[in-house]
Amino acid sequence: MSQHSVRTLRRQVGNTGNLLFIHALRRVLHYDALAHGRRFVPAELADRHDGIVVAAANWLAPRHSFAELAASIESTQLPCVIVGIGAQAHSEARIPALQDGVLRLMKIASERSHSISVRGEYSAEVLAHYGIDNVTITGCPSLLWNLDASHRVEKPQRQVTRVALNCSRGAPDERLLTRRARRVQTNRLNVLLPRLAFQRGLDFVAQAELPDIYYALGRPDEDTFATAFADYMARIYDTTDTSHLNDFLAHRMKVFVDVEAWLRYLTGQHLVFGTRLHGAIAGLLAGTPSVLVTHDTRTAEMARQAGIPSVSAEAVTEDTDFQQVYDACDVETFNRSAPAYYQRFAEFFDANGLRHRLAGATESTDGATQRFPNA
């Protein structure tokens, strides 16, 4: 992967957090002939499969359309179950204005399934505003990775020295890759957290921070973006010490495109901290105390729904003490929430006729449980 160009990385890496909820859902569904992919030919799909399961994310937001996906699914006439969709806005006081393509997709799923799986009460409220009421509040399927609720997060008394940070900066706007961009136009925390990692010698797990990933993987010197990326990185990390920054990116910047490798790494950390929802979830799945910094409706909703330890964005400063964060991290609420979380998902899958590997899976052969025999 070290020889990939920036253009290849843009196309293939995306947000590595997506790997977690997509592959967790694949582990949960119990089918021998389970195909997956973002693109499909409707006629071929209808010939080979009996239903469509959509692993969704924060799609109930104004920027998303999904018109092409909605049209493709509609033309198949197949049952369609959407799992784990969530709303994203700055405040729960407002209902986001959704594009027609998203609404069409929701309407199709509403008509062709028992219910739509949503991440929390706010997401359910958003869909109800648009006339879709057959929803089940489940959370995100990423937390089902371990397939049962017996997994616990332990928090022994210890001196915290191994901390993995993350943030939600993502790939930069193109204008930030030019010398004319004198300021980094990004959220405060998305600059503060990587700077804290750099200044304190902590690990940073990049999920969609393309320039950071590009440098960490050893970018080719001949790439035309090299100079622009170097300028951008200097602004993000607030340093002119290129040697120090390159050393940090090479040794402290972590990138994972394999979920199991990601979880193995996090098992060896003392604390995971940052604004990435799936960064926190990955830590908890690895058994590591993890704190999600809530900064929008999406993160706050999932923290409530799953009992994920969290702090508000306003509480994070350049003086944040990660020992204190660890000591205050409430892993027991998360542990206690797990059985009910799994049960809600099991009931959702059963109601929608999806065979699954969760404890208590329905074994009967009535019409509901056999709706997707070859999904």
pLDDT in tens, 152-182: 999 999 999 999 999 998 877 666 665 554 5
373, pLDDT greater than 50: no
Cα–Cα dist 98/76, whole Å:
24
pLDDT at 187: 79
Residues 209-227: what's their mean pLDDT?
A: 70
Banded pLDDT at 7 (limits 50, 70, 90): low
CA distance 4 to 277: 27
More confident residue, 185 or 60: 60
pLDDT of residue 186: 58
pLDDT at residue 67 is higher than 90: yes
Q: Which pLDDT band, with edges at 50, 70 and 90, does 228 fall under?
A: confident
Q: What is the pLDDT at residue 262?
A: 97
Provide the pLDDT for residue 13.
Answer: 52
pLDDT number for residue 44: 77
Closest CA to 238 of 186, 168, 291, 274: 186
What confidence score (pLDDT) does residue 212 get?
87
Between residues 362 and 321, the one the model is more confident about = 321
Cα–Cα dist 329/310, whole Å: 8
Q: In degrees rounded to 5, what are phi and psi of residue 288? A: -105, 130
Is residue 148 scored above 80 in pLDDT?
yes
Is 164 within 8 Å of 284 (Cβ atoms)?
Answer: no
The residues, ordered by sequence, that sit 6+ positions from 125 with a Cβ below 8 Å of its Cβ are: 92, 95
Specify whether the CB–CB gap between 198 and 239 falls below 8 A. Answer: yes
Q: Are 102 and 66 in contact (CB under 8 A)?
A: yes
Name the nearest CA neighbour of 81 among 48, 44, 103, 106: 106
Average pLDDT of the chain is: 88
Helix (H, G, I), strand (E, B) or coil at 81: strand
Query: Mind listing the pLDDT tens digit for each residue in 289-305?
Result: 999 999 999 999 999 99
Q: Tell me: the pLDDT tens digits for 102-135?
A: 999 999 999 999 999 999 999 999 999 999 999 9
Residue 226, pLDDT score: 67
Q: Which residues face 254 on adjacent strands?
A: 205
Read off the pTM: 0.91
Q: Does residue 309 surpass a pLDDT of 70?
A: yes
CA distance 213 to 201: 17
